[in-house]
Homo-oligomer: A and B are copies of this chain.
Amino acid sequence: MTKIALTPLAQSLPASVPFVGPEAQERQMGRPFKARLGANESAFGPSPKAIAAMQKAAAETWMYPDPESYELKHALAAHCGIAADSIMVGEGIDGLLALVVRAYISIGDRVVTSAGAYPTFNYHVAGFGGALHSVPYNGDFEDPDALLAKAGEVGAKLIYLANPDNPMGSWHQADVISDMISRLPDGCLLVLDEAYVDLAPEGTAPAIDTAAENVIRMRTFSKAYGMAGARVGFAIATPEIINGFDKVRNHFGMSRTSQIGALASLQDDGWLAHIRAEVDASRQKIGQIASDNGLTALPSAANFVAIDCGRDGGFARAVLGRLVEDGIFVRMPFVAPQDRCIRVSCGPEDQMQRFADALPLALAHAHENLG
């Protein structure tokens, strides 16, 4: 009996996890984290109306989800002021990114991103055999000009850009993004990840144009809406691009309770303003904690703040290692020179306080060990 062979493509891939979950770290440490500030979850929680709706829906879990996510899709369309045929609901932005790559990238097709941007996108590109090219950040900003130049040079079919950016929290004004879209090479699709845009200043998101044939925008209930565990994202594009999803998606992949929770969350009018205020206060608090420790917090349009630890990646890694050891779950950028920072998610006061208590010790530890 010969073994069953994976496809040549699958054989070429590592068995990898783009992010190790905090639960795995907790199992390894043998104790839970005291503060969960590493995954840009919203510890402010979901809307009470979403919680109530999900609790009510629990007994009806015996029913399959509506494969069209009809009600949620139409509510999103009304919310965005566009037609429902320009929206696809999927299992988080991660799931939608996989489908976009699958729909557009054959083995060897070129894709462009920024070095140090979202690794899960890179994972999917590799997973479908795409050839990934990256350009450096410009300062702490993703660089539209460099992305466009590289895409033209290699003949890329996809460009990935997050606005606001993760992991740095930096952002471009809407007109910079609009200008980028207008300059995309022929046959190149911009994957515009707007996971954090609900938390950004006015003027960050370009107006939605559902006739634009060269851009697909990704949004989520995981961040501002505080529903990361529900896995609900949505894509906005032309009806033709949206139609393409129905060729490749897992039609019954959405949790029914998640659909219902996301809908209730969207219908809770005051929730987004409440969370924007909480996140803004928390960003300021993180900034204060940083400066209290002689560090600089970078400006952020997201629900996290990158803190410049003032030295190199080795130093920031030592700080981060000690924070994790002390029960504070945080993460950091993967690539220099952004890896001089640690990335701290916004959260309620008690979580901020635990981080504030742990940071001086972590810095002292890093200084001791690295001189």
Q: Is the CB of B62 within 8 A of A252?
A: no
Q: Is the CB of B41 within 8 A of A63?
A: yes
Q: Which residues of A214-263 have CB atoms within 8 Å of chain B's CB atoms? A: 214, 222, 226-231, 240-241, 243-244, 246-248, 250-258, 261
Question: What residues of chain A have their CB less than 8 Å away from a CB belonging to chain B?
Answer: 1-10, 13-21, 23-24, 27, 36, 39, 41-46, 50-51, 54-55, 57-68, 70, 91-92, 94-95, 98, 102-106, 109, 120, 127, 157, 184, 186-189, 213-214, 222, 226-231, 240-241, 243-244, 246-248, 250-258, 261
Complex CA distance for A16 and B251, rounded to whole angstroms: 9
Complex CA distance for A340 and B111, rounded to whole angstroms: 51
Complex CA distance for A251 and B58, rounded to whole angstroms: 24
Q: Which of B61, B230, B248 contacts A51 (CB 8 A)?
A: B61
Q: Is the CB of A228 within 8 A of B61?
A: yes
Q: Hey, which chain B residues are within 8 Å of A261, CB to CB? A: 58, 61
Cβ of A315 to closest chain B Cβ, rounded Å: 28
Cβ of A2 to closest chain B Cβ, rounded Å: 5
Q: Is the CB of B7 within 8 A of A104?
A: yes
Q: Hey, which chain B residues are within 8 Å of A15, CB to CB? A: 243-244, 246-247
Q: Which of B50, B186, B228 contacts A64 (CB 8 A)?
A: B228
Q: Which of B4, B127, B228 contacts A63 (CB 8 A)?
A: B228
Complex CA distance for A248 and B9, rounded to whole angstroms: 10
Q: Is the CB of B68 within 8 A of A13?
A: no
Most buried by B among A8, A21, A65: A21
Q: Hey, which chain B residues are within 8 Å of A9, CB to CB? A: 106
Given the interface pairs A4-B188, A16-B246, A106-B7, the reply to whether A61 lies near B255 with Cβ below 8 Å is no
Q: Which of B17, B36, B64 contacts A41 (CB 8 A)?
A: B64
**Nearest 3 interchain pairs by C-beta:** A229-B256, A15-B246, A255-B255
Given the interface pairs A39-B64, A46-B61, A186-B1, the reply to whether A251 lies near B18 with Cβ below 8 Å is yes
